């Protein structure tokens, strides 16, 4: 029997209902902030990710679904969506007028990852990107939107963890202080960190190795080495978050490793996930658009994993809300046509209804109804046709009653399964 490809799964039933609920909430909340959806292709040219995600990253080095197409192009199944959105915005000249441009996306991403719980090779992300505004106010706007999104989904005790990584101009001052600190205790850091301190010192700060984290105790803090404008930006963001009542904490080890990331970096933690577990991350990337060949346009954005979010919601809220349809079972040939007509009236009135179209015995239809979890069964046989009624069976209690056909729509709409 054929199986789905390793790391790729089919979505249906209860899990998919959470996906749908999350997507609907995202569209509603982002739409009211003025963000428009963008859908970019799954395949992008290799260069897009080499230049954005970075040639030294694990994603580009080890995890990309990369191949040569029949025309000899080096293409990649996107491992994330920001690079594609920036590529599209440049290609279609959407960033030429200095207007703010606000986009969100919902889509599948692909990474050839080692299998572990909650990690897949095809997974979904929802993200929002705002282009053209460099102010801390634009960050507050985006974080407020994110806060509403997560709150409306029912997540509690959200904490925004923030930091500033300054600018490429101000970073050498921090690097010097940090390298001096590292040199004094170099033997306590892992091999990877020894490589990082040469090539990309900020990445030492978020090394996953516990010994390295312990060795970092008392490390110099980037926010003490910011240029004046970045320091003002960071201070202003903290004022805004305080004024808006968005709970935040400063995390001097929260970094983004690539040069085009500037100033604000953030993660969101939720008590629903247990201690120290981040739900998502994002930040400012003022230099990426130019780096990918576009105009000099600042940007801020974030991405959240939909698979993980659905799993958390299932854990804290149980099954996704799912109004089960009623089932209409016609008995006999004449009733079948009448049932189609009645079902049409009910569908047009907005009632969720499944129609049994196999014909045949009631017993078979009732067995299927049970297996499908149907709560309300409507039976239309010759007797009912004569009397203009429906026999209604409530599956949970086994109770049976008779409804006038004319009242079916309103009674079904009022029912709570
Ligand atoms: P990243 O792009 O690595 O910063 O990840 C952003 C979000 O995508 C995180 O919230 C993760 O939950 C999610 N994510 C990343 N990789 C995977 C994966 N392999 N499977 C499921 N979710 C993922």
Instruction: Please give the average per-residue pLDDT across 280-295, as a whole number.
Output: 95
Tell me what pLDDT residue 56 has.
72
pLDDT at 416: 57
Q: Total structural domains in the chain?
A: 2
Query: What is the model's pLDDT at position 385?
Result: 96
Q: Are residues 285 and 336 in the same domain?
A: no
> Ligand 1 mean position to 92 CA, how many Å?
28
Task: Answer yes or no: do 18 and 161 share one domain.
Answer: yes
Best substitution site from 58, 107, 125 to test ligand 1's pocket, by max atoms within 8 Å of Cβ? Answer: 125
Q: How far is CA 261 from CA 160, 250, 287, in A?
A: 18, 18, 7
- Measured from the Cα of 280, ligand 1's closest atom is 10
C-alpha span between 211 and 232 (Å, rounded): 34
User: What is the pLDDT at residue 274?
Assistant: 66
Q: Select from 285, 317, 349 the last residue of a domain.
A: 317
- pLDDT score at 210: 94
Helical (H) or strand (E) element with 142: helix 136-152
Quick one: 269 and 306 in the same domain? yes
**59-63, 164-168, 281-285: which has the minimum mean pLDDT?**
59-63
Taking the centre of ligand 1 as the mean of its atom positions, its distance from the CA of residue 288, in whole angstroms, is 20
Are 129 and 64 in a shared domain?
Answer: yes
Residues with CB under 6 A from ligand 1: 80, 111, 113, 119-120, 123, 125, 280-281, 303-305, 307-308
Q: How confident is the model at residue 58 (pLDDT cuts 50, 70, 90)?
A: confident
256 and 390 together in one domain: no
- Taking CA atoms only, the protein residue closest to ligand 1 atom 8 is 305
pLDDT for 304 beyond 70? yes
* Same domain as 268, residue 156: yes
383 and 238 in one domain? no
pLDDT in tens, 221-234: 999 999 999 999 99
Average pLDDT of the segment spanning 234-256? 96
pLDDT tens for 359-409 read 989 999 999 999 988 999 999 999 999 999 999 999 999 999 999 999 999
Among protein residues, the one with the nearest Cα to ligand 1's atom 12 is: 305
CB atoms within 10 A of CB 294: 20
Is position 194 within any domain?
no
Count other C-beta atoms under 10 Å from residue 170's C-beta: 20
Going by the DSSP 8-state scheme, the letter that residue 272 receives in this structure is G
Co-location of 253 and 303 in the same domain = yes
Alpha helix (H) ranges present in 153-209?
Answer: 171-184, 191-199, 202-205
CATH of residue 405's domain is 3.40.50.800
Q: Is residue 50 part of a domain?
A: yes
Residue 250: its H or E element: strand 248-250
pLDDT score, position 257: 66
Domain of residue 340 covers: 326-416
The residue among 257, 288, 317 that closes a domain is 317
Q: What is the pLDDT of residue 42?
A: 98
What tens digit of pLDDT does each residue of 305-329 get? 999 999 999 988 888 877 678 999 9
Closest C-alpha among 289, 267, 262 to residue 98: 289
Q: Are residues 261 and 376 in the same domain?
A: no
Residue 210 in any domain: the answer is no
Q: Which of 272, 291, 317 is the last residue of a domain?
A: 317
Closest residue by CA, ligand 1 atom 18: 119
CATH number at residue 82: 3.30.930.10
């Amino acid at each position: 029997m054929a199986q789905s490809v390793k790391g790729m799964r089919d979505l249906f039933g209860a899990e998919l209902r959470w996906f749908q609920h999350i997507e609907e909430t995202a569209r509603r909340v982002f739409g009211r902030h003025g963000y428009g959806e963008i859908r970019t292709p799954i395949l992008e040219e290799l260069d897009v990710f080499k230049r954005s995600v970075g040639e030294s990253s694990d994603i580009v080095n080890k995890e990309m679904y990369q191949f040569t197409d029949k025309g000899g192009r080096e293409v990649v199944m996107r491992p994330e969506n920001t690079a594609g959105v920036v590529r599209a915005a440049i290609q279609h000249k959407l960033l030429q007028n200095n207007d703010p441009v606000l986009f969100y996306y919902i889509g599948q991403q692909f990474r050839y990852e080692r299998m572990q719980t909650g990690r897949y090779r095809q997974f979904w992300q929802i993200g929002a990107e705002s282009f053209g505004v460099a102010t801390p106010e634009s960050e507050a706007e985006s974080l407020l939107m994110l806060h509403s999104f997560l709150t409306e989904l029912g997540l509690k005790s959200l904490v925004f963890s923030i930091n500033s990584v300054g600018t490429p101009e101000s970073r050498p001052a921090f690097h010097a202080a940090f390298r001096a600190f590292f040199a004094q205790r170099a033997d306590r850091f892992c091999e990877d960190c020894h490589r990082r301190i040469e090539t990309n010192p900020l990445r030492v700060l978020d090394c996953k190795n516990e010994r390295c984290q312990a060795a970092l105790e008392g490390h110099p803090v980037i926010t003490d080495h910011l240029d004046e404008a970045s320091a003002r930006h960071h201070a202003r963001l903290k004022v805004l978050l305080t004024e808006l009542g968005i709970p935040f904490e400063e995390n001097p080890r929260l970094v983004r490793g690539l040069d085009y990331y500037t100033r604000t970096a953030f993660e969101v933690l939720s008590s629903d996930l247990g201690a120290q577990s981040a739900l998502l991350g994002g930040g400012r990337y003022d230099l990426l658009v130019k780096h990918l060949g576009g105009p000099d346009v600042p940007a801020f954005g974030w991405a959240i994993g939909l698979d993980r979010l659905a799993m958390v919601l299932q854990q804290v809220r149980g099954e996704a809300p799912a109004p089960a349809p009623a089932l209409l079972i016609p008995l006999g040939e004449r009733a079948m046509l009448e049932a189609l007509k009645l079902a049409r009236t009910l569908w047009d009135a907005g009632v969720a209804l499944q129609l049994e179209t196999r014909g045949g015995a009631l017993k078979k239809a009732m067995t299927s109804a049970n297996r499908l979890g149907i709560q309300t069964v409507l039976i239309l046989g010759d007797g009912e046709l004569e009397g203009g009624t429906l026999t209604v069976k409530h599956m949970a209690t086994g109770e049976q009653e008779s409804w006038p056909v004319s009242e079916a729509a309103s009674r079904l709409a009022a029912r709570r399964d």
